[in-house]
Amino acid sequence: MSQLSNLYLFLYNSLQFFGWALALFRVLSSFVLTNSTHGAYASAGELICFLQTAAFLEVIHGAIGLVPSGALFPLMQWGGRTHFLLAIVRGITEVQELPSVFITFLAWSLSEIIRYPHYALSCLGHCPSWITYLRYTAFIVLFPIGVGPGEMWLMYQALPYIKAKHLYGDSFLGLPISYYNFVQVVLLSYPFLWLKLYVHLFKQRKSKLSKRHEKKKKM
């Protein structure tokens, strides 16, 4: 079972890596060809929607103990990204050409083409130390960029369109509040949820890199 689990995780993480590498290529190609950030969603939006939806498997992996991450933090990250991507970016065509989409897609893609190879190679037991270091260091810059000028700024810019379109009616997720008010609440709570995830990632960094340092000492 252990070998089958490792094979499955290796294949899953490898496919996610290739998908995000293709997304990054499309986003950058569009930027170079048009000298504009406007084409980020048109070039890679549907692919990124698919990859992000499929990433719910990572919540399941943690919940059933296939990986040691648990389900809470993967669910928080997946839920935040998926709501932003499907409900706002995909659901409101007027925001799809804004620079914030390009910034978000760029930060996400760079993060994932580092994260997934680390996971895939770890399944084989042969992950180079520089990939491990990059995995637990790049987020320090990429995570704030993706959240601040990316996700939060775009949600703020989307508010007038949400209000004008009366998007999703007067209730959302069974709650007696409009989606417009829901997004306002999300925006207010985002910094606190983001900080919780950010601190968690720093704890992971300290744990993983200290283990790598100890292994080097023993050698």
- Give me the mean pLDDT over the 69-90 stretch: 92
Q: How confident is the model over 46-68, as pLDDT tens digits?
A: 999 999 999 999 999 999 999 98
- Decide if pLDDT at 115 tops 60: yes
Domains in the chain, number: 1
Least confident range of 136-145, 172-181, 206-215: 206-215
- Decide if pLDDT at 127 tops 80: yes
Least confident range of 81-95, 99-113, 133-147, 163-177: 163-177
Q: What pLDDT, on the 0 to 100 scale, is given for residue 163? A: 92
| Residues spanned by the domain of 29 | 2-218
Select from 150, 58, 59, 70 the least CA-distant residue to 110. Answer: 150
Q: What pLDDT, on the 0 to 100 scale, is given for residue 110? A: 97
- Give me the mean pLDDT over the 39-48 stretch: 97
Element of type H or E holding 30: helix 2-34
Select from 189, 38, 51, 37 the least CA-distant residue to 111. Answer: 51
175 φ/ψ angles, rounded to the nearest 5 degrees: -90, 145
Burial of 56 (0-12, 13-18, 19+ CB in 10 A): middle
- Give me the mean pLDDT over the 151-177 stretch: 86
Output the average pLDDT for the chain.
Answer: 91
Least confident range of 22-31, 78-87, 103-112, 193-202: 193-202
- Decide if pLDDT at 108 tops 90: yes
